[in-house]
Amino acid sequence: MVKTEAKGNGSFEEKRRFDRLDKSFSMRFKVLSPDLLPVGELDRVGRVCDIGAGGLRFTTVGTLNKNEQLLILLEFSGWKVDGEEWIPTGNQADHGKLKVLGRVMWCGEVDSADHEQEVGICFVGRIF
């Protein structure tokens, strides 16, 4: 979760535990709830803004709420997965797929023009 503190000179100190990589790519996800089990198809899409070891920030059309649980599918071009190891191939045709569980930590206001919302996710698990 991002926390900032104002210092005396008006600047802010970053409280993030993991560095983030500015990276833009598509993702698919589904909001999890007990009445939707088994999960089925990932029916929503988003656009990753940045990603790190602890979570990611993305935009999506529609509304999400704080503390909702998401099943997220991330695909990384130029990588492949061998067991639990990620191997960079440099070949854009290779797509390493990563399924993770995430919890919504914060949600921005929904933009009235395009109905897009910015969302912060904390990773809580990986699905193999």
pLDDT greater than 90 at residue 48: yes
Residue 109 forms part of a structural domain: yes
- Amino acid, single-letter form, for residue 97: K
Residue 7 forms part of a structural domain: no
Residue 1 forms part of a structural domain: no
Structure tokens at 41: 């198809």
Residue 66 forms part of a structural domain: yes
**Residue 118: domain span:** 19-127
Structurally, how many domains does the chain consist of?
A: 1
Average pLDDT, the chain: 85
Q: Distance (Å, rounded) from C-alpha 75 to C-alpha 96?
A: 6
Q: What is the pLDDT of residues 9-34, one digit of tens each?
A: 555 455 667 777 788 889 999 998 87
Residue 6 forms part of a structural domain: no
Residue 9 forms part of a structural domain: no
> What is residue 24's predicted lDDT score, i.e. its pLDDT?
85
Residue 37 forms part of a structural domain: yes
* CATH number of the domain that residue 103 is part of: 2.40.10.220
> What is residue 10's predicted lDDT score, i.e. its pLDDT?
52
CA distances to 20, 33, 53, 124, 125 from 16, rounded to whole Å, are 9, 28, 11, 16, 19
What is the signed CA dihedral for 53, 50, 44, 114, rounded to 10 degrees? Answer: 160
Q: Distance (Å, rounded) from C-alpha 70 to C-alpha 121?
A: 9
Residue 88 forms part of a structural domain: yes
pTM over 0.85: no
Q: Distance (Å, rounded) from C-alpha 94 to C-alpha 89?
A: 7
Q: What is the pLDDT of residues 59-111, one digit of tens each?
A: 999 999 999 999 999 999 999 998 888 999 999 999 999 999 999 999 998 87
